[in-house]
């Protein structure tokens, strides 16, 4: 099968080539994202493989159909960047990598919490300048704090387990509560109660029309003053404008994000010699209690290995017409 692989980075190619045993598939790598400007290059390919920064709206999918593309393969778990209805209309199959390493993301969420809490990033810089003062470095114990987890799927479950290990009181909200987490001591509560009771809230639900801007002026007004908010899921679950307001009045005490609403114009690029035109991210970066990482939660050796392995196996399943759970099926909302 001839596959155009978009938004590829050097670190991915090595793993993909390794699993493409005997060059079974013809993989052509493009560093550029797939979008309305680049879609013309897909002529002659059977399938496209994309990343989360590639936006496949109805117009792009129309062009893919005209070029006879039969498969849209996501090298990600989330698929909110693909218009599934448009793909279904053109009978283009959509596949993804549903779980490559939930621990990678859960552990990164934990790193954001510990860094914001114990301010190790500030201590690191300070000590390098021979400043050994403890001024403004005071943190708090995680032990016995209440941690609210929104979404207890694969990543949320791994995160709950880490927090239980710290001796936290873990509460959660999910449309499908997990029996095994309840047995381990996680208490499911309503979303309202989670907002009211948590010292730390970590977001692990997908971005859907229901969760877009789930965190907004109204929800921020219900959290305890000074709550820490962590988002490693999708940027648009938080309304950034409202988060800035809540940071300014100290309603949010700390904000740790690995994802950001406007990240497609920023993340995964070296813009160190450019002028950033996104005023919201610049404002966020000006807060000393905000920590931003550039969508790197997934970035572990184990996760990259698994993404490549499942991606190639998706190509094989598609070619061999084998049904798998990695197919994303459009469901009428
Ligand atoms: P999952 O499907 O296993 O779990 C998602 C959970 O969220 C499910 O239990 C679901 O019932 C729940 N949920 C859905 N809507 C909800 C709502 N309105 N309120 C509360 N819970 C709700 O997915 P996962 O593998 O755990 O991944 C979660 C998300 O993490 C993905 O959708 C993706 O956006 C994000 N992610 C981020 C990275 C990263 O590098 N930062 C990597 C992988 C995944």
**How far out from the chain centre does Cα 85 lie?**
22
Half-sphere exposure of 200 (CA within 13 A, CB side): 25
Q: What is the pLDDT of residue 333?
A: 66
| Cα–Cα distance list, 184 to 176, 193, 284 (Å) | 16, 20, 36
Atom 32 of ligand 1, residue of closest alpha carbon: 206
Residues in contact with 59: Cβ distance below 8 Å, sequence separation at least 6, in sequence order: 36
Q: At residue 78, does pLDDT exceed 90? A: no
Residue 90 has pLDDT above 90, yes or no: yes
Edge-to-edge strand ranges of the sheet holding 187-188: 187-188, 169-173, 146-150, 200-203, 227-231, 252-257, 290-292
Average pLDDT over residues 9-27: 93
Confidence (pLDDT) at 330: 87
Q: Which of 151, 207, 267 for a ligand 1 pocket mutation test, highest count of atoms within 8 Å of Cβ?
A: 151
CA nearest ligand 1 atom 5, residue: 153
Ligand 1 pocket, residue 295 CB under 6 Å: yes
Summarised one tens digit per residue, pLDDT across range 192-223 is 999 999 999 999 999 999 999 999 999 999 99
> Alpha-carbon dihedral of residues 38, 11, 122, 292, nearest 10 degrees?
30
- 175 to 43, 46, 231: CA distances (angstroms): 42, 37, 19
pLDDT value at residue 258? 98
Per-residue model confidence (pLDDT) at position 16? 96
Nearest to 105 by CA among 234, 239, 238, 272: 234
Written as six digits, the tokens of 120 are 């190790």
Q: Which of 166, 160, 159, 165 is nearest to 140 (CA)?
A: 166
Partners of residue 257 on adjacent β-strands: 231, 292
Measure the CA angle with vertex 151, ends 88 and 161; round to 5°.
Answer: 130
Whether 206 lines ligand 1, by a CB cut-off of 6 Å, is yes
**Among residues of the chain, what percentage have pLDDT more than 70?**
99
Q: Is the CB of 175 under 6 A from ligand 1?
A: yes
Q: What distance in Å separates the CA atoms of residue 270 and residue 272, rounded to the nearest whole number?
A: 6
> Is 149 near ligand 1, meaning CB less than 6 Å away?
no
Cα 321 to Cα 328: distance, rounded to the nearest angstrom = 15
The dihedral of CA 287, 289, 291, 292: what is its sign? negative
Phi, psi of 261 (to 5 degrees): -50, -45
What is the pLDDT at residue 81? Answer: 93
3-class DSSP state of 52: coil
Q: Ligand 1 center to residue 6 CA distance, Å?
A: 24
pLDDT value for 207: 94
Q: Which residues are catalytic?
A: 234, 263, 295
Ligand 1 in contact with 219 (CB < 6 A)? no
Strand, helix or coil for residue 274: coil
Residue 273 has pLDDT above 70, yes or no: yes
pLDDT at position 205: 97
Q: Tell me the per-residue pLDDT of 103-153, one tens digit each, with 9 for 90 and over.
A: 999 999 999 999 999 999 999 999 999 999 999 999 999 999 999 999 999
The pLDDT mean for the chain works out to 96
Question: Does the pLDDT value for residue 285 go beyond 70?
Answer: yes
- 204 CA: nearest ligand 1 atom: 28
Distance 203 CA to ligand 1 centre (A): 8
Grade residue 324 by pLDDT with cuts at 50, 70 and 90.
Answer: very high
Alpha helices in 168-325 (DSSP H): 179-184, 191-197, 217-222, 240-248, 279-285, 301-319
Give strand ranges (E) for the chain.
2-5, 26-29, 47-50, 71-74, 93-95, 146-150, 169-173, 187-188, 200-203, 227-231, 252-257, 290-292
pLDDT of residue 20: 95
Q: What domains appear along the chain, each with residue ranges and CATH number?
A: 2-100+301-319 (3.40.50.720), 102-292 (3.40.50.720)
Is 101:124 a contact under the CB 8 Å cutoff?
A: no
């Amino acid at each position: 099968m001839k596959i155009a692989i978009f938004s590829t980075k050097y670190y991915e190619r090595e793993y993909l080539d390794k699993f493409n045993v005997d060059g079974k598939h013809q993989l052509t790598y493009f560093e550029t994202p797939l979008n309305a400007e680049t879609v013309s290059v897909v002529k002659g390919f059977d399938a496209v493989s994309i990343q989360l920064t590639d936006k496949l709206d109805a117009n792009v999918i129309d062009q893919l159909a005209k070029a006879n593309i039969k498969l849209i393969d996501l090298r990600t778990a989330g698929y909110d960047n693909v218009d599934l209805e448009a793909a279904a209309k053109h009978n283009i199959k959509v596949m993804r990598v549903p779980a490559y390493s939930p621990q990678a993301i859960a552990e990164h969420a934990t790193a954001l919490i510990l860094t914001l809490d114990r301010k190790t990033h500030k201590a690191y810089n300070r000590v390098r300048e021979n400043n050994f003062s403890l001024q403004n470095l005071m943190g708090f114990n995680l032990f016995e704090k209440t941690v609210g987890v929104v979404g207890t799927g694969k990543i949320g479950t791994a995160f709950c387990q880490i927090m239980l290990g710290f001796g936290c009181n873990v509460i959660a909200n999910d449309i499908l509560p997990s029996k095994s987490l309840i047995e381990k001591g996680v208490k499911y509560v309503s979303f309202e109660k989670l907002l009211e009771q948590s010292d730390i809230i970590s977001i692990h639900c997908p971005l859907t029309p229901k969760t877009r801007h789930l965190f907004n002026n109204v929800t921020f007004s219900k959290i305890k003053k000074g709550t820490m908010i962590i988002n490693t899921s999708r940027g648009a679950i938080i309304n950034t404008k409202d988060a800035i307001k809540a940071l300014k009045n100290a309603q949010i005490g700390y904000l740790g994000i690995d994802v950001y609403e406007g990240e497609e114009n920023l993340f995964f690029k070296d813009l160190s010699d450019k002028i950033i035109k996104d005023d919201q991210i610049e404002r966020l970066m000006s807060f000393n209690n905000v920590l931003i990482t550039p969508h790197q939660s997934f970035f572990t050796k184990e996760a990259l290995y698994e993404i490549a392995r499942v991606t190639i196996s998706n190509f094989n399943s598609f070619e061999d017409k084998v049904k798998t759970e990695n197919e994303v099926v459009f469901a009428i909302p």
